[in-house]
Amino acid sequence: MATTNLSHYDKNTIPNAKDFRFGIVVSEWNPEITKSMHNGAIEALVDCGALPKNIVSWDVPGSFELVFGCKKMIETEKLDAVIAIGNVIQGETKHFDFVCEGVTQGIVDLNIKYDVPVIFCVLTDNTKQQSIDRSGGKLGNKGIECAIAAIKMAAIKNKGLQKSTVGF
């Protein structure tokens, strides 16, 4: 369980996103959850300098379809990072496990295959209330957290890894 608010970030520690282009692929399943995360992600990107015209959003039917949606977006749009937004809530069958494992591995595979970071913004909660708490409720909004990750990864993609100033 998350113990901190997911929405807090310090703009002074985040690269300016004005020169980056972002993709967001959003599952239509559990739309009250995914749309809230989508809105949070867009607000954070714009707050950190991203231009609205440089944010491309596509909807896909469910979380399992996020991988294909992200793949096609990477192949057809010039992007610096993609955020995959979805929500899977535990049910009475193993379907939850199969979807979560498939989406997780699919996003890992995209990160290995393409030179565009894909950010995992899929809530995998036991209850709907847990998802509400993490998509704009008492624990903040995972979409904001993932937007910040997307900005940081876009900066790494475009500038490469910087040498650490800490010696070992």
Stretch 149-167: mean pLDDT? 76
Inside any domain, residue 61: yes
Query: Domain containing 54 — which CATH number?
Result: 3.40.50.960
Inside any domain, residue 10: no
Inside any domain, residue 11: no
d(CA 30, CA 52): 25
d(CA 124, CA 127): 9
pLDDT for 33 equals 98
How far CA 165 is from CA of 9, 11, 58, 153, 162, in Å, comes to 22, 21, 39, 19, 9
Inside any domain, residue 42: yes
Inside any domain, residue 37: yes
9-13, 39-43, 118-122: segment of lowest average pLDDT: 9-13
Inside any domain, residue 7: no
pLDDT for 93 equals 85
More confident residue, 164 or 101: 101
pLDDT for 91 equals 85
Domain range for 52? 17-159
80-113 pLDDT, tens digit per residue, is 999 999 999 998 888 899 999 999 999 999 999 9
Q: How many domains does the chain have?
A: 1
For the question of residue 38 being annotated catalytic, the response is no
For the entire predicted model, the pTM comes to 0.92
Inside any domain, residue 121: yes
pLDDT for 160 equals 61
Inside any domain, residue 9: no
pLDDT for 7 equals 83
Task: Pick the closest to residue 147 from 121, 108, 111, 115 (CA basis).
Answer: 121
Could you say which of 95, 97, 98, 127 is catalytic?
95
How far CA 106 is from CA of 51, 53, 109, 119, 158, in Å, comes to 29, 28, 5, 12, 23
Tokens encoding 140? 């903040």
d(CA 94, CA 152): 35
Stretch 101-130: mean pLDDT? 97
42-80 pLDDT, tens digit per residue, is 999 999 999 999 999 999 999 999 999 999 999 999 999
